[in-house]
A and B are shown apart, each in its own frame.
Chain A
């Protein structure tokens, strides 16, 4: 079950999207998320969906990876869609009376439900594009770069980025470890799947204790290894790979800028 975690999974590739500057991708993703939540017109969503599909195709990463990212969110998405579908007031198009309660779907509800569905799906796909095409190291470098203006007000940008990159680096390791421990306990007759909530929570102990023990041990070893190589935080560190904007990046800025203006105008007119 832990093998399904795709957060932070990076699929190496040579597509245009892969080659874009990580800082740019990060900022564009943020912009994309903001736009997703400010626009309300169906026509805007049409164009946003189109653009997302286009970029997904440009990444040349099999669609399966995007769907895999959506899977864990499925429940939340369906839940919110239903809430909106049934609880938005407006013109009733369908209703059902059971036990004196009325369930009704309104035209506005359908519209809202669809918008929410698109919003959340695009949100997941958009962020997946970022994480699938950007190696964790590039991503944290980008986060550091984007946060670094905040160093003036004493935000430890480098340390935050370092902590994130270590955390991301260890997700697959710990997932693998968890898988192994689950198997080992199953071999001793442990049952992780049946029983009520309390029994299941208790059944997690044989997994969680060894997992934490090994996570702490790893953390300790890593700290020692970093210390012994004289790591002392961000001050005066230089980089092996300098981040520089190149022609593709400028083109991307122009295209995306044009697209945003387009969506804004269309949203305004229609």
Chain B
């Protein structure tokens, strides 16, 4: 479980460009959750998640991972970074080894895992991201953009984290690449029961995969609720620079016009089913 208490963070304190990126954040994220962090650009999403594995030290406040206070200077950071895997935005920019195999093995190797175990983990990780084992002997630099990103994600999965955090993993991917990545995350969550924290500014993405949503606005937590609850507040979200999925917007309009529809519709699939059920019902009458 992740617990954050009164977390504040200021970039470049005391300088003219001082910037309070996080303001009194209090959060609890249970185990096995699939939670999305959304918010407009500059709302503090990336700053927040970098706190969770100790890459950024809070200006004030405390963070606990499984009841271990990671903000304590005595905590073993290597252990925490193994527990909390963090995939940065555009992770393909961090690849550096001669082969994909070596790159995926980098994390486990730093953790001091035996070569045999590493081999098992690398293979498992490459399958988890839906790439074939042939890729392992290639240079990461000869892969396509989408493949590189998968390799980079595999490089974090191979560390067997309990919590996997991804910062805008779909940014810059084409629609089919995005679909496949989201599907990959869903499968990963179902198969491994990892806690997944997905940072995104796309409501459409979030609606499809997450269970809960944390809405960030100007460095504060604006809401932390199940997906359906958040999308009921469509108008409010638009005020803070976020759009609900188009299908939810459509349903909300229909409800305004008097249609008897549930408010928790936020995927096209579900909307189609509900609407066709209603239409069938109508034709029966």
Chain B residues with CB under 8 Å of A180's CB are 88, 93
Per-residue B-contact encoding for A190-211, CB less than 8 Å = 1, 0 else: 1100000000000001100110
A12 CB, nearest partner CB in chain B, Å = 10
Contact between A210 and B96 (Cβ–Cβ < 8 Å)? yes
Contact between B93 and A181 (Cβ–Cβ < 8 Å)? yes
Report the stretch among B104-112, B201-209, B228-236, B256-264 that lies at the interface: B104-112
B173 within 8 Å of A (CB atoms): no
State which of B14, B50, B55, B111 has its C-beta within 8 Å of the C-beta of A189.
B111
Chain A residues with CB under 8 Å of B198's CB are none
Contact between A184 and B91 (Cβ–Cβ < 8 Å)? yes
Interface residues on B, range: 20 to 34
B281 within 8 Å of A (CB atoms): no
B145 CB, nearest partner CB in chain A, Å = 12
Contact between A206 and B55 (Cβ–Cβ < 8 Å)? no
Chain A residues with CB under 8 Å of B63's CB are none
Contact between B110 and A190 (Cβ–Cβ < 8 Å)? yes
Per-residue B-contact encoding for A158-183, CB less than 8 Å = 1, 0 else: 00000000000000000001001101
Per-residue A-contact encoding for B63-87, CB less than 8 Å = 1, 0 else: 0000000000000001001100110
Per-residue A-contact encoding for B89-111, CB less than 8 Å = 1, 0 else: 00101111000000000110011
Number of A-B contacts (CB under 8 A): 60
Docked CA distance A206–B98 (Å): 11
B269 within 8 Å of A (CB atoms): no
Contact between B55 and A188 (Cβ–Cβ < 8 Å)? no
Chain A residues with CB under 8 Å of B53's CB are 187
B112 closest partner in A (C-beta): A189
Docked CA distance A210–B95 (Å): 6
B214 within 8 Å of A (CB atoms): no
State which of B55, B78, B141 has its C-beta within 8 Å of the C-beta of A213.
B141
B182 within 8 Å of A (CB atoms): no
Docked CA distance A180–B87 (Å): 12
Chain A residues with CB under 8 Å of B156's CB are 187-188
Contact between A188 and B93 (Cβ–Cβ < 8 Å)? no
B16 within 8 Å of A (CB atoms): yes
A119 CB, nearest partner CB in chain B, Å = 29
Chain B residues with CB under 8 Å of A185's CB are 94, 106
Per-residue A-contact encoding for B110-123, CB less than 8 Å = 1, 0 else: 11000000000000
Contact between B85 and A187 (Cβ–Cβ < 8 Å)? yes
Chain A residues with CB under 8 Å of B86's CB are 184, 187
Query: Given that A189-B82, A205-B96, A210-B93 are contacting pairs, would A183 and B111 also be in contact in the complex, using a CB cutoff of 8 Å?
Result: no
Docked CA distance A190–B15 (Å): 30
Contact between B94 and A189 (Cβ–Cβ < 8 Å)? no
Chain B residues with CB under 8 Å of A184's CB are 86, 88, 91, 93-94
Chain B residues with CB under 8 Å of A64's CB are 14-15
Chain A residues with CB under 8 Å of B94's CB are 181, 184-185, 188, 206, 210
Docked CA distance A181–B152 (Å): 12
Docked CA distance A76–B106 (Å): 37
Docked CA distance A208–B55 (Å): 19
B159 within 8 Å of A (CB atoms): yes
B155 within 8 Å of A (CB atoms): yes
A214 closest partner in B (C-beta): B93
Contact between A183 and B55 (Cβ–Cβ < 8 Å)? yes
A15 CB, nearest partner CB in chain B, Å = 14
A205 closest partner in B (C-beta): B96
A186 within 8 Å of B (CB atoms): yes
A62 within 8 Å of B (CB atoms): yes
Contact between B95 and A191 (Cβ–Cβ < 8 Å)? no
Docked CA distance A43–B110 (Å): 58
A11 closest partner in B (C-beta): B16
Contacting A at CB under 8 A, from B31-83, are: 50, 53, 55, 78, 81-82
Chain B residues with CB under 8 Å of A209's CB are 96
* Contact sample, A vs B, 18 pairs, CB 8 Å cutoff: A11-B16, A64-B14, A180-B93, A181-B94, A183-B50, A183-B55, A185-B94, A186-B81, A187-B85, A187-B86, A188-B106, A188-B107, A188-B110, A190-B106, A206-B94, A210-B96, A213-B141, A214-B93
6 additional A-B pairs beyond A184-B86, A206-B106, beta carbons within 8 Å, are A180-B93, A189-B111, A191-B110, A206-B94, A210-B95, A210-B96
Residues on B lying within 8 angstroms of A by beta carbon are 14-16, 50, 53, 55, 78, 81-82, 85-86, 88, 91, 93-96, 106-107, 110-111, 141, 155-156, 159
